[in-house]
Amino acid sequence: QVQLVESGGGLVQAGGSLRLSCAASESILTFNAMGWYRQAPGKQRVLVSISNSGGSTNYADSVKGRFTISRDNAKNTMYLQMNSLKPDDTAVYYCRALRSGLGVGYWGQGTQVTVSS
């Protein structure tokens, strides 16, 4: 079974930066797409950013220009660099990986990001 382990969350002041990591138990080259979601208290889980195997990336409008998704294939790790953080970015951030051809997706356990004003 594929395991995804997020890390790098924490408490940061508004305007600060964090880098989240998602370490996969298998080669990330086997995933058609990987991405980050977040869920704030009382809110639905929403897509933050996605990176597909072809190299294209997409970002939610709320984070565009501030967040950057990337992969290190050798480390089987995906990252989310978060800059210029705002209190509205406060949420649990989840890693997501898809094997679309198999109809299979995986979630990480989540990591808490708290941005203070």
Starting at the edge strand found earlier in the chain, the sheet holding 77-82 runs 4-7, 18-24, 77-82, 67-72
pLDDT level of residue 84 (50, 70, 90 thresholds): very high
- Residue whose structure tokens are 């058609």: 32
Cα–Cα distance measured from residue 25 to residue 1, given in angstroms and rounded to the nearest whole number: 8
The stretch 2-13 carries a mean pLDDT of 98
What are the tens digits of pLDDT across the range 29-62?
Answer: 999 999 999 999 999 999 999 999 888 999 999 9
List Cα–Cα distances, 73 to 6, 13, 53, 79, in angstroms: 16, 31, 11, 11
Cα–Cα distance measured from residue 86 to residue 115, given in angstroms and rounded to the nearest whole number: 6
